[in-house]
Amino acid sequence: MSKTFLTSSKTYFTSESVTEGHPDKMCDQISDAILDACLKQDPYSRVACECATKTGFVVVMGEITTNANINFDELIRKVVLDIGYDDSSKSFDGNTCAVQVAISKQSTDISMGVDNALEKRDSDKKDDIEKIGAGDQGMMFGFACDETPEYMPMPIYLSHLLTKQLAKIRKEKKLKWIYPDGKSQVTVEYHKGKPTRVDTLLVSTQHSTEVSHKDIEKGIKKYVIDKVIPKELIDSKTKIYVNPTGRFVIGGPKGDAGVTGRKIIVDTYGGMSRHGGGAFSGKDCTKVDRSAAYMTRYIAKNIVASGLASRCEIQVSYAIGVAKPLSIMVDTFGTGKISDEKISKIIDKVFDLRPGAIIRDLDLRKPIFQQVASYGHFGRDDLDLLWERLDKVSEIKEISKQKSF
């Protein structure tokens, strides 16, 4: 995010979302369904599960160390069928698709650093906070802003509303010609960093061959756009596009190959915040790509909710096998009521960013991950996610008021 975004009299920002029937999202859900199945039987499972799909087949590969007994074929087909791919007329059928599995155990070189962090390699406790080292090197970002009640940027928030509504009316069969694959895109106009109106709305949905383009436009506007986009954000200049190519019959893995982790911007903040590059789905909580990204969101959201800034981005970095973060960075983009340096000190007092502490505080050994594999991992007011809590606001406010601080 540039400084001109917060100072310019008029700027535009665009974000997108996809439905659970999008081939990349289908892979994310399969990877996280496998993770959840492992955690349900063995909370200490180590999972790094990738998925790929194309016409008529699904391939699952990765490294899993677990005491769980998983029927991969049955589980994968259930995910595909639950998404809605249950007939070849929809370009994919979970009943008849081929399923291939290539899974090995986690590398002993990796597990050595995770099991015994550099700081505490003489500990014999199985899940001691200091014992768990980061599962990989890397940097992660968390973000929050006051544009919406969910502390999310408005473009991605509205984009998710559209795709969730598109899936809802498909499952309720209000528009029987809608098929599982779909996308949305929203461009919001900003004045000095504040959202003022929706400039452009785009919805694309896979559909049956029987429906006309005119009926698609009419149905999507009535049952999707008009239902979820606030009327005050739309004016006579708002541009609305529905299936702009005119036809979207071939969808899902037949229309485009799918791969786990290819929708990382959809999963996070729609591009409004920086991204460390690591995907989430299919990774257990010892992988800081996931757990630290959740923790930094938790921190940023509590900072903004406490009133210390209207926008806040947190970066944290790790070394494999080391528990303590290598660096922590705070950027409030000039919106902070106190300096970013002081906010950093507050974070150090309130939050523990060691992987073991993150796992404990966010309760990440539970099978909770498939539910966030579609429609974003953050800002989910429809789910009870511990990283979306605002339980540190009072403590943050209290520390910020201390004279000695």
pLDDT at 297 over 70: yes
Q: 199 is in which domain, residue-wise?
A: 3-17+154-250
- Residue 174 forms part of a structural domain: yes
**Is position 141 annotated as part of the catalytic site?**
no
Contact 177, 143 (CB under 8 A): no
pLDDT at 104 over 60: yes
Burial of 6 (0-12, 13-18, 19+ CB in 10 A): middle
**Is position 50 annotated as part of the catalytic site?**
yes
Contact 203, 24 (CB under 8 A): no
- Residue 400 forms part of a structural domain: no
Mean pLDDT (whole number) for 34-42: 97
Number of domains in the chain: 1
Quick check: helix, strand or coil at residue 139? Answer: strand
- Residue 233 forms part of a structural domain: yes
Burial pattern 112-135, b for ≥16 Cβ within 10 A else e, equals ebbbbbeebeeeeeeeebbbbbbb
User: Which H or E run includes 244?
Assistant: none
364: DSSP letter:
T
- Residue 218 forms part of a structural domain: yes
**Is position 256 annotated as part of the catalytic site?**
yes
**Is position 262 annotated as part of the catalytic site?**
yes
**Is position 389 annotated as part of the catalytic site?**
no
Q: Residues 22, 90, 131, 354: which is the catalytic one?
A: 22
Q: What is the pLDDT of residues 372-391, one digit of tens each?
A: 999 999 999 999 999 999 99
Q: Residues 72, 92, 143, 248: which is the catalytic one?
A: 248
Q: What is the pLDDT of residues 3-28, one digit of tens each?
A: 678 888 899 999 999 999 999 999 99
**Is position 289 annotated as part of the catalytic site?**
yes
Q: What is the CATH number of the domain that holds 159?
A: 3.30.300.10
Contact 22, 181 (CB under 8 A): yes
- Residue 302 forms part of a structural domain: no
- Residue 117 forms part of a structural domain: no
Q: What is the pLDDT of residues 178-224, one digit of tens each?
A: 999 999 999 999 999 999 999 999 999 999 999 999 999 999 999 99
**Is position 127 annotated as part of the catalytic site?**
no
pLDDT over 70 percentage in the chain: 93
**Is position 248 annotated as part of the catalytic site?**
yes
List of long-range contacts for 334-338, beta carbons under 8 Å, 24+ apart: 334/3, 334/6, 335/6, 335/309, 335/310, 335/311, 336/308, 336/309, 336/312, 337/307, 337/308, 337/309, 338/308, 338/400
pTM, two decimals, is 0.93
- Residue 370 forms part of a structural domain: no
**Is position 254 annotated as part of the catalytic site?**
no
- Residue 169 forms part of a structural domain: yes
Minimum mean pLDDT range among 72-86, 102-116, 295-309: 102-116
**Is position 263 annotated as part of the catalytic site?**
yes
Quick check: helix, strand or coil at residue 46? Answer: strand
Q: Residues 199, 289, 331, 388: which is the catalytic one?
A: 289
Q: What is the pLDDT of residues 245-293, one digit of tens each?
A: 999 999 999 999 999 999 999 999 999 999 999 999 999 999 999 999 9
